C-alpha cells in the first residue's frame, strides 16, 4: 500500500467496499517499465482498469493503449489519446464495432482467424493487422490459452492473405497468460514467432512488429520476479533472433501498471465457525467474487490481506463474499491465516487490487452495488 | 420460449445482448407452484431476478419474499410488499443492514452462527429467527453446501439461546442446492430437521416453521422432474414426520418462478476454427460468463440455444463470450453442437435465462455494458 493510499484510508475512512488507487503509483510503474524496456512501445491494457484518471495520466506520459472493446477505444479517445495510439486488441469484434473504431481513426487491429480478417478487410480497409499466435501459458496464474490464437501455419497463410485483401500485414502477437511468473514463457514464444517472421519475409511479406502481450506480474501473496528479469530475458531473446534488425516491440501491460497502485478496503461482515470447535473460522467480507474479486476463481490470484490486528495470534480461515451464492468463496484451500481477534465490523485491506477488480464487479448481485472507486 | 417472447423478439428485434422476460409466465409458474404445494408459504428468492415488474406481479399474486440483502428488502417494499411478507434470508448481514431492515418493519431473519444471532438480538430485538442447517447438496447442479449452515447440535444450542436473548426462535431452514433434480435431497433434509424440531420441543422450545429453501429446477438442456414430483415427496416427508401437526412450510423458489420466463437474445460475433481443419468450431457470442451467464462456470448450467439455422446439419462447437478473458468460456466439454451454417451476425437465443443472469452481469468488463432488460 502506498503512503498516499494509507493516509487517505486513515483520514477519509471511505464507505466500504471501495477501491482507493494512487495515480502516482501508476505513473511510477509506467516509468519503471519504460526504463526497463526502453525499446518497447507500451500499450496499456485498458481492461485492467479503464478509469478516466488512469487513462488521462497515461496519456500524459505518452502511453499507447490496447482496447478490448469499442467502448474502451472510445474511452481512450475521450481521455485524450490519439487514434494512432490505440490498438483494438480483441480478436473477436462485431462488424459494427470495427466500423466505429475505424471511423474514429483507429488503424491497428488484432485477429486470429480467417473470418475476422475478412471483417477487417471489409470494415477497416487498409488497416495494420496483426495475428495472434497460440503459445504455451505455463507459469501463468491466470492462463488464457484455449480461447485465442492460432497456429503458425494458419497465421502464415492469413498474413499472406491479409496483403491480398488490402490490409497492411503489420505483425504478430502472442500472450503468455496473465500474472506470468516465468521468463521462459516469453523466450519460447519469441522464438516461435521469430521463425514465422523470417519465413514470411522469405515469402515477400515484411512484418514490422512483434506484440509480446502483457502478463508481467504484480506481487500478491507470493514474491514475483522483478521487471528487470523479464526485460533482460525478452531483449536477449529478441536480439538473439533478430540481431540489429529489431522490429517494433509492443507490450500490453495492465496488471503491472495498475495492480499495486490500488487497495480494496472492505468490512468484515461476520466471523464464525461453521460447527462448534471447527479449527477453521469463516470470514465473510462485504466484497467477494461477484463484487469484483473475480480473479479469486479457483483461488488463482491470492491477494494479501491486512487487518487492524496484524501481529497478533493468527488461525486458519476460509474467506468468502457476502452473497447468498455458494460459489462466492475466495479462499478455502490456500492456507490463509488471519488474526484470532478479527471480528465483524473490522476494516481490512486487500492489497494490489488496482487491476481487474472494478470492471468485473456485478451490477447488483444480491442487491449489492458495485464498489466505490477513489482515484487519488 | 413463450409465444409472447417469440413475438416480441421477431417484431422488435431489440439490440443484443438482452433479456426478454414474459411476466405472465412468472405468474403461471407461481400459480403452478401454489397449486402443487397449497400448504406452503412461497417466499420468492429475489436474487434470482429483482426486476420491479417481476416483484410487482408477485406482490399482486400474494407472494412473500426472501431477500438476500438490504437493497433487496427495500426493493420488495418499494414494489408494494408489506414488511411482514419479507424474510431477510442471508445468514451474513452487516449490523447496519439488520438495523435498516428492522426499522423498515421486517421481523423474520435467518442466521447460522452465534455471532450472527448476537447481532440479531442487538439490532432486531424480538424478531422471529430461523437457523440454517447444513444438509447434503447431492443432485444439485449449483451446490451451495460449504459456505452456509451449521450442524444439528450447534443449531439446537443456538435456538435455545435465541429465546434467552429476547428473540423468537421461529424455525429451521436448509437448502438442498440450486437446480436440484433429486427429490431425495428434500426427503433426507426434512428428516434431519424434523428430529431437531422434536428434540427442541422436548427442551421447551416450540418451533413453528420449516423453511425448505429453494432449488426447484428449471428445464435447461436436460429434462428435469416436474414440480408435482417434488411436491409429493415433500408433503409425504412432512406428514410422515409431523402427522397433522404440520408447522408452517416455507419455500423460497427463485429459478423455478422466473427461469423459463426469460430468454437472452444474443448475436454471434465470430465463428472460427482455432487451427485449420480442427473439427471444433469456436462460437463467440456478445454475452458470456462476465456478461451475466455466470452460472456456466464449470459448465454447471447448460442452457438450450436456438439459432436461425436449426434443423440443418450441425457440428461440435465450443461456446465463449466476447471478452479478452480466457476464463470467459461457457461450454467446451459439454458436447454442444450448433448448425454448420451459423455465422457472425446471426441472432441466437439462450432459453430459460430469466434467473440469475441480469444481476450477475459485470458493470463494464472490457467496456461492455450490461445486457438490456425487457419485461413484457
Please compute, for residue A240, the number of CA atoms within 13 A of its CA located in the half-sphere on the CB side.
13
User: Which residues in B lie closer than 8 A to residue A275 (C-beta atoms)?
Assistant: 134, 150-151, 153-154
Q: For B343, left (φ over 0), alpha (ψ -120 to 50), or beta?
A: beta
Whether residues A243 and A219 fall in one domain: yes
Q: How far apart are CA B124 and CA B129, in angstroms?
A: 10
CATH of the domain at A325: 2.40.37.10
For A112, nearest residue in chain B (alpha carbons): B274
The H or E element spanning position A87 is strand A86-88
pLDDT at A140: 77
Please compute, for residue A163, the number of CA atoms within 13 A of its CA located in the half-sphere on the CB side.
15
Quick: pLDDT tens for B345-360: 999 999 999 999 999 9
> Is there a domain that residue B7 lies in?
no
> Is there a domain that residue A29 lies in?
no
Grid cell of A212 as nine digits: 509480446
Instruction: Name which of A326, A341, A371 to mutate to probe chain B: the one with the most chain B Cβ atoms within 10 A of its Cβ.
Output: A326
Mean pLDDT calculated for residue range B105-111: 98
Please compute, for residue B283, the number of CA atoms within 13 A of its CA located in the half-sphere on the CB side.
29
Whether residues A204 and A276 fall in one domain: no
Q: CA angle, A203 as apex, A199 and A207 as ends, to 5°?
A: 70
Q: How far apart are CA A13 and CA A352, in angstroms?
A: 19
DSSP structure class, residue B14: P
Mean pLDDT calculated for residue range B81-93: 97
Is residue B252 within 8 Å of B289, Cβ to Cβ?
no
CATH of the domain at B223: 3.20.20.10
Whether residues B227 and B330 fall in one domain: no
CB proximity list for A157: less than 8 A, separation 6 or greater: B276
Q: Which of A253, A281, A302 represents a domain boundary (last residue)?
A: A253
Mean pLDDT calculated for residue range B12-16: 97
Q: How far apart are CA B312 and CA A222, in angstroms?
A: 52
Whether residues A237 and A270 fall in one domain: no
Q: Rounded to a whole number, what is the distance in Å from the CA of A3 to chain B's nearest CA?
A: 29
Task: Say yes or no for a CB contact (<8 Å) between A47 and B324.
Answer: yes
Successive 10-residue mean pLDDT values, chain A, 376 residues: 97 98 98 97 98 98 98 98 98 97 98 97 98 86 80 96 97 92 92 95 96 92 92 96 95 97 98 91 97 95 97 97 94 96 97 96 93 98
Which letter, b or e, does each residue of B100-121 get, where b requires 16 or more Cβ atoms within 10 Å of its Cβ? bbbeeebbbbbbbbbbbbebbb
pLDDT at A145: 63
> Is there a domain that residue B245 lies in?
yes
Grid cell of A126 as nine digits: 487498409
> Is there a domain that residue B25 lies in?
no
> Is there a domain that residue A280 lies in?
yes
Give me the percent of chain B exceeding a pLDDT of 90. Answer: 92
User: Which residues in B lie closer than 8 A to residue A113 (C-beta atoms)?
Assistant: 270, 272-274
- pLDDT at residue B278 tops 70: yes
> Is there a domain that residue A249 lies in?
yes
Which of B116, B148, B150 lies closest to A275 in CB terms? Answer: B150
- Across the A:B interface, residue pairs with CB atoms under 8 Å apart total 217
CB proximity list for B278: less than 8 A, separation 6 or greater: none
For B74, nearest residue in chain A (alpha carbons): A367
For B73, nearest residue in chain A (alpha carbons): A367
pLDDT at B144: 64
Domain that holds residue B85: 50-253
Is residue A95 within 8 Å of A111, Cβ to Cβ?
no
Which of B93, B95, B145 lies closest to A326 in CB terms? Answer: B145
Please compute, for residue A209, the number of CA atoms within 13 A of its CA located in the half-sphere on the CB side.
25
Q: Which of A253, A288, A309 represents a domain boundary (last residue)?
A: A253
Query: Which ipTM did the prediction report?
Result: 0.94
> Is there a domain that residue B271 lies in?
yes
- Residue A251 phi/psi, 5-degree rounding, is -125, 150
Whether residues A198 and A161 fall in one domain: yes
Quick: pLDDT tens for B115-155: 999 999 999 999 999 999 998 887 777 776 689 999 999 99
> Is there a domain that residue A358 lies in?
yes
Task: Say yes or no for a CB contact (<8 Å) between B114 and A326.
Answer: no
- Residue A130 phi/psi, 5-degree rounding, is -135, 145
Whether residues A220 and A264 fall in one domain: no
Quick: pLDDT tens for B327-345: 999 999 999 999 999 999 9
For B343, nearest residue in chain A (alpha carbons): A115
The total of structural domains in chain B comes to 2
Q: Which of B253, B285, B317 represents a domain boundary (last residue)?
A: B253
Whether residues B136 and B282 fall in one domain: no
Whether residues A126 and A111 fall in one domain: yes
Grid cell of A368 as nine digits: 449489492
CB proximity list for A29: less than 8 A, separation 6 or greater: A256, A257, A258, A260, A261
Grid cell of B179 as nine digits: 437446480
Task: Say yes or no for a CB contact (<8 Å) between B274 and A367.
Answer: no
Amino acid at each position: 500500500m502506498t503512503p498516499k493510499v494509507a493516509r487517505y484510508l486513515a483520514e477519509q475512512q471511505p464507505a466500504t467496499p471501495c477501491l482507493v488507487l494512487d495515480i502516482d503509483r501508476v505513473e511510477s510503474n509506467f516509468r519503471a517499465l519504460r526504463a526497463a524496456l526502453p525499446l518497447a512501445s507500451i500499450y496499456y491494457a485498458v481492461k485492467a482498469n479503464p478509469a478516466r484518471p488512469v487513462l488521462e495520466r497515461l496519456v500524459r506520459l505518452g502511453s499507447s493503449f490496447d482496447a478490448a472493446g469499442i467502448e474502451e477505444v472510445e474511452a481512450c479517445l475521450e481521455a485524450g489519446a490519439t487514434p494512432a495510439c490505440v490498438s483494438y486488441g480483441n480478436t473477436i469484434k462485431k462488424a459494427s464495432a470495427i466500423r466505429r473504431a475505424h471511423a474514429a481513426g483507429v488503424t491497428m487491429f488484432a485477429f486470429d482467424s480467417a473470418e475476422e480478417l475478412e471483417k477487417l478487410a471489409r470494415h477497416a480497409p487498409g488497416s495494420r493487422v496483426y495475428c495472434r499466435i497460440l503459445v504455451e501459458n505455463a507459469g501463468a496464474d491466470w492462463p488464457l490459452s484455449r480461447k485465442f490464437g492460432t497456429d503458425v501455419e494458419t497465421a502464415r497463410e492469413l498474413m499472406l492473405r491479409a496483403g491480398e485483401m488490402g490490409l497492411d500485414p503489420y505483425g504478430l502477437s502472442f500472450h503468455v497468460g496473465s500474472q506470468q511468473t516465468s521468463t521462459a514463457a516469453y523466450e519460447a514464444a519469441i522464438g516461435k514467432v521469430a521463425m514465422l517472421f523470417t519465413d514470411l519475409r522469405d515469402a515477400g511479406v515484411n512484418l514490422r512488429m512483434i506484440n509480446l502481450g502483457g502478463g508481467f506480474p504484480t506481487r500478491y501473496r507470493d514474491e514475483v520476479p522483478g521487471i528487470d528479469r523479464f526485460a533482460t530475458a525478452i531483449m536477449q531473446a529478441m536480439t538473439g533472433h533478430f540481431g540489429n534488425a529489431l522490429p517494433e516491440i509492443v507490450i500490453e501491460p495492465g496488471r503491472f501498471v495498475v495492480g499495486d497502485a490500488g487497495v480494496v478496503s472492505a468490512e468484515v461482515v461476520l466471523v464464525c465457525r461453521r460447527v462448534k470447535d471447527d479449527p477453521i473460522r469463516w470470514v465473510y467480507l462485504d466484497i467477494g467474487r461477484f463484487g469484483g474479486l473475480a480473479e479469486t476463481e479457483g483461488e488463482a490470484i491470492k491477494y494479501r490481506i491486512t487487518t487492524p490486528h496484524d501481529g497478533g495470534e493468527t488461525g486458519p480461515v476460509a474467506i468468502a463474499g457476502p452473497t447468498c451464492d455458494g460459489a462466492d468463496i475466495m479462499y478455502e484451500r490456500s492456507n490463509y491465516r488471519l488474526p484470532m481477534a478479527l471480528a465483524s465490523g473490522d476494516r481490512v485491506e486487500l492489497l494490489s487490487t488496482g487491476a481487474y477488480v472494478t470492471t468485473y464487479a456485478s451490477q447488483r448481485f444480491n442487491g449489492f452495488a458495485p464498489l466505490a472507486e477513489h482515484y487519488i
